Amino acid sequence: MTHELKTGGDRGYLRIATEEAFATQEQLDAIMRLVKEGRADKGTKSLWGFYGTSPSERTTFIRERLLDLGPLRIQAMDEAGIDKAVLALTSPGTQSMHDAEEAKRIARNANDQLKTACETYPDRFHGMIAVAPLDPEWSAEELRRGKEELGFHGVQINSHTHGHYLDEEQFDPILRACADLDLPLYIHPQGPPDGMIGGMVEAGLDGAVYGFGVETSYHAMRLLTTGVFDRYPNLQLMLGHGCEGLPFWLYRLDYMHKAGIRSQRYDRLKPLQHDLFHYMRNNVLATNSGLPFGPSIKLMIEVMGEDRVMYAMDYPYQYVPDEVRWMDDLEISAAQKKKFFQRNAERWFKL
């Protein structure tokens, strides 16, 4: 231990964690029902077939802490020196559901439950809106309610919805509502859809270790390469886990995207108003959730700009208070560190 972890800004900044998960019992019961009935896709079956049933110390801790929006979570934040947490409904949200009415009920109830928790701990908890992409029009209305009635300032979509992605025309009401309401769109991973997952489960690589990043970066690239940010130039896309690796790959992504357009090889790829570097520096925000690794964070800052990179812990899936100390000791300027831990979250989530 190099220093004591305290809340209250003793190091010159507050620590705001921006990708922190919670669950409702209603949501978990619905997911586990699909798993038991054999109606869940392979990714959901792999993830929740384990986390929903395993008696291990890790999974028991995660289930207990996902459902807690009270003293246990506050205690964990205090012990890690986390002043505020931005909370979102855990993966896969409502997106493994087959019945739109059930998905909408789960999302709305989760939003109401989160609002109650935020009112109970107004200085500690802030919320992201849960929606049901099975019904995009309803989701757009729930985004409006989430902002105007509940006071939330972001939305989390748990990547694909039964293998369908937000760049598809049917989901445009969600994108339009995010742009119109100035709500950052956080795309969080879930297991790859059956059409992508291949042998990942058998290899033990379908989850957070690899498959999550592959699938979510693919989702982001679909948005970045199909004109979404030309239609909605103020739309802000948030990605966790080191921006799902995109900053590292950006030069090659941009080079090959331009080559693909010139070749006219793909009907879907049309010229854009800007290159991918522009969209990454003007329309994409990133957190380091689950990646307390100095070289990756400094790369994100260099590629995307110091106003676009934020701290996240990924509680309760990755709760290691020592990681906070490592981030406190990150070799960046004091001004950049305050932006990383505090100011950028305050700006983008309007805290």
300 CB contacts (<8 Å, ≥6 apart)? 242, 243, 247, 286, 288, 308, 309
Q: How confident is the model at residue 163 (pLDDT cuts 50, 70, 90)?
A: very high
Mean pLDDT across 54-79:
97
Whether residue 2 is predicted with pLDDT greater than 90 in this model: the reply is: no
The overall pTM is greater than 0.85: yes
Please count the CA atoms within 13 angstroms of the CA of 71 that sit on its side-chain side: 0
Mean pLDDT across 178-204:
98
Whether residue 322 is predicted with pLDDT greater than 70 in this model: the reply is: yes
pLDDT tens-digit map of 240-299? 999 999 999 999 999 999 999 999 999 999 999 999 999 999 999 999 999 999 999 999
244-267 exposure pattern, b = at least 16 Cβ within 10 A, e = fewer: bbbbbebeebbeebeeeeeeeeee
pLDDT of residue 253: 98
Return the percentage of the chain with pLDDT > 90, whole number: 99
Whether residue 18 is predicted with pLDDT greater than 80 in this model: the reply is: yes
Tell me the H-state helices in 239-340: 246-263, 276-282, 294-304, 321-328, 334-338
How many CB atoms are closer than 10 A to CB 32?
17
Mean pLDDT across 82-89:
98
pLDDT tens-digit map of 113-154? 999 999 999 999 999 999 999 999 999 999 999 999 999 999
* Cβ–Cβ < 8 Å for 17, 312: yes
pLDDT of residue 226: 96
Whether residue 1 is predicted with pLDDT greater than 90 in this model: the reply is: no
pLDDT tens-digit map of 37-51? 999 999 999 999 999
Mean pLDDT across 71-81:
98
